[in-house]
Structure 1
Amino acid sequence: MLIVRLSPTARAVADALGVVRSFSDGSELPPTAAERLAVVVEEWVANVVEHGDAHPDSRIVLRIGHREDHLRLTVSDAGRPFDPREAVFAGPNLERGGGAGLEIIRAWSRIVDYRRRAGRNRLVLIIPLD
């Protein structure tokens, strides 16, 4: 299991990607699963940084477990409450780009659980290895 703690700053996305790519290489993940993991982590961490309004002293915590047929990704953060199961996709934002990240996350992973506890969001995703 990999556990990473990141500051909720613009640097968090690059740091998360570096750690995830290293984890994928070390775990010898299939290329498609490794890329999907990287994109899912990138999109979620970017959303926390951009929209979560987390205190700079707080941490985004990533936990990645490798099972026989899937990855289990748990992300927690101290940003605003956000349950991705309830978010409505209004289409991409053509003016600034982006806006489709949550739909990519939903397409490439299964949301197992979301909870808000003690001022933190906790999201659990399963990413298939096929």
Structure 2
Amino acid sequence: MVNASPHAEQQPSATSACERCRTVSAVRDVGRAPGPLPRSPLRTLHLEATAAHLAALGAFVRSALPGTTSGELDLIDLAVTELAVNALQHGGARRWSLTVGAAVQGACIVFEDDGQPFDPRAVTPGTAGELRAGGYGLLIVRRVARQLSYARRGPLNRTTLLF
């Protein structure tokens, strides 16, 4: 089941996270005080957490961030896919929610899942270049995102990425 909403106001938890993204962007924009910034409208996608829906996450990111370079979209897509696969395989998630918005200084992604509580910041990622079967996902997410934050909100894991 795919449910896309062009109005984040219907998703209050994601709106507050993206409001934070607006403020972070404003602070980094030299000479500009925090406040309303030009950005794309927030868009939210709700999906059943299945491997068959991974491609829909990437397509949604690409459609929600017009004007973003192909290389940047590839990195954002990779990070979102890694979060989704971890939530599905390790957390037992049944539902995903992805909110995407563009701020002055980049993209803000809020990924939520209903899997087991998991703070991606609490895990020490492996070293790049080590020979192993897995464990590169969080290293990739940390390297491609400018900022990563996590919160547990009721039954949901909320990971916010700034690019």
Q: Same-fold call, TM > 0.5?
A: yes
Gapped regions of structure 2 (runs ≥ 5): 1-41
User: Match of 1:40, SS?
Assistant: helix
Count of aligned pairs: 120
Identity %: 30
Q: Which has the higher helix share?
A: 2
State how 1:84-123 maps to structure 2 within 5 Å: 84-90=120-126, 94-95=132-133, 98-123=134-159
Pick from 82, 86, 91: which aligns with 1:43? 82
Q: With CA pairs under 8 Å and 6+ residues apart, which has the higher RCO, 1 or 2?
A: 1
Mapped to 2, the partners of 1:32 and 1:65 lie a distance apart of: 17
Decide whether the 8 Å contact of 1:111 with 1:123 is kept in 2. no
Q: CA deviation at 1:94?
A: 3.2
| Corresponding residue number in structure 1 for 2:104 | 68
Are 2:49 and 1:11 equivalent residues in the alignment?
no
Alpha-carbon RMSD: 1.8
Gapped regions of structure 1 (runs ≥ 5): none
Pick from 91, 99, 104: which aligns with 1:52? 91
Give 1 or 2 for the bigger CA radius of gyration.
2
Q: TM-score, normalised by structure 2?
A: 0.66
Decide whether the 8 Å contact of 1:93 with 1:99 is kept in 2. no
Mapped to 2, the partners of 1:123 and 1:99 lie a distance apart of: 18
Q: TM-score, normalised by structure 1?
A: 0.82
Decide whether the 8 Å contact of 2:142 with 2:148 is kept in 1. no
